[in-house]
Amino acid sequence: MGVQAEKIFVNLPVKDLNKSIAFFTKIGFEFNAQFTDENATCMVISENIFVMLLVEDFFKTFTKKEISDATKSTEVIVALSAESKEKVDEIVNKALAAGGKASNDPFDQGFMYGWSFQDIDGHLWELMYMQESVVDQD
């Protein structure tokens, strides 16, 4: 098999760290205080998946490229699995109530259901439920 990592850390630039923390807290995410200061926070998605929210000036220290304006262009869509269609709806509705924007309408293909939103910085998030019986178990 190819490269196998034990954890994933997605790094996203944010304009106002405290507003981003408040937004994602309203959705139900938690943060690791050990990796949180005035420049960054570690949002816990699961035991092995984390999103580092980095203030733009700090984010710039990790790249020589310009930071994309997520309100105008898309570089990435963060897609997360959910345990049910209801959980997809719950998370997206919380994001919208917390100040996020609708991205795409929900889609339902029977075995797969998804819905997406934009966070307060314009980053795209997609929640998806897929029936386990459809996923190849090999």
16 located within any domain: yes
pLDDT digits (tens, 9 = 90+) for 90-116: 999 999 999 999 999 999 999 999 999
pTM, two decimals, is: 0.88
29 located within any domain: yes
On whether the CB atoms of residues 126 and 79 are closer than 8 A, the answer is yes
80 located within any domain: yes
Q: Say how far apart CA 9 and CA 11 lie, in whole Å.
A: 6
pLDDT reported for residue 1: 66
pLDDT digits (tens, 9 = 90+) for 70-94: 999 998 999 999 999 999 999 999 9
Grouping H, G, I as helix, E, B as strand and the rest as coil, residue 47 is coil
1 located within any domain: no
77 located within any domain: yes
On whether the CB atoms of residues 122 and 69 are closer than 8 A, the answer is yes
Provide the domain limits for residue 38.
8-130
Q: What is each CA distance from 108 to 42, 85, 101, 128, in whole angstroms? A: 32, 9, 20, 10
Q: Where are the alpha helices (DSSP H) in 46-114?
A: 56-59, 85-97
Grouping H, G, I as helix, E, B as strand and the rest as coil, residue 95 is helix
91 located within any domain: yes
Q: What is the CATH number of the domain that holds 47?
A: 3.10.180.10
pLDDT reported for residue 2: 79
135 located within any domain: no
Residue 3, pLDDT > 90, answer: no
- Calculate what percentage of the chain has a pLDDT beyond 90: 88
Q: Where are the alpha helices (DSSP H) in 5-47?
A: 17-27
Residue 137, pLDDT > 60, answer: no
List the structure tokens of 15: 């304009």
